[in-house]
Structure 1
Amino acid sequence: MTGAYSRPIGAAPLMHVAVLCADVDKSLAFYRDGLGFSARYEWTKSIAESGQVVYDARGVYLELGGHTYLELFPGGRSDADSSPGPMHHIAIIVPDVDEAYRKCLKSGGAAFPVDTWTGEPTSVVLNGEPEVKCRVAFIKGPSGELIELYDQRGPIHCAIH
Structure 2
Amino acid sequence: MRAIHHIALICSDYDRSRAFYRDILGLPVIREVWRAERQSWKCDLHAGNAQIELFSFPAPPSRPSRPEACGLRHLAFTVADIDAEVTRLDAAGVSCEPIRIDEHTGQRFTFFTDPDGLPLELYEQVKS
Residue 30 of structure 1 and its aligned partner are, at CA, apart by 1.6
Partner SS state of residue 103, structure 2? strand
Alpha carbon RMSD of aligned pairs, Å? 2.6
Larger Rg: 1
TM-score under structure 2 length normalisation: 0.78
Cα gap change, 1:103 to 1:24, in 2 (>3 Å): farther
2:83 aligns with 98
On the 8 A contact 1:138/1:147 being kept in 2, the answer is yes
Cα distance 1:74–1:60, how it changes in 2: closer, same or farther (>3 A)? same
Structure 1 partner of 2:53: 71
Aligned position for 1:134: 107
1-structure distance, mates of 2:89, 2:125: 19
Structure in which a larger fraction of residues adopt helix: 2
Alignment of 1:1-161 (within 5 A): 11-45=1-35, 53=37, 55-66=38-49, 68-75=50-57, 82-83=65-66, 84-107=69-92, 109-111=94-96, 119-126=97-104, 132-153=105-126
Structure 1: state its 5+ residue gaps.
Answer: 1-10, 47-52, 112-118, 127-131, 156-161
User: Counterpart amino acid of 1:24?
Assistant: Y
TM-score by length of 1: 0.64
Percent of residue pairs bearing the same amino acid type: 27
Residue aligned with 2:87, SS: helix
**Which amino acid is the alignment partner of residue 72 of structure 1?**
L
Deviation, structure 1 residue 57: 1.1
What number of residue pairs does the alignment pair up?
Answer: 124
Distance in 2 (alpha carbons) for counterparts of 1:14 and 1:71: 12
Q: Deviations over 1:56-115 (max 9, x none)?
A: 41000111122x1111112477x765342311001100122222223334445444xxxx
Distance 1:107 1:19 in 2: 22
* CA distance in 2 between partners of 1:81 and 1:104 (Å): 24
Supply the AA of the counterpart residue of 1:104.
L
Moved over 6 A (4+): none
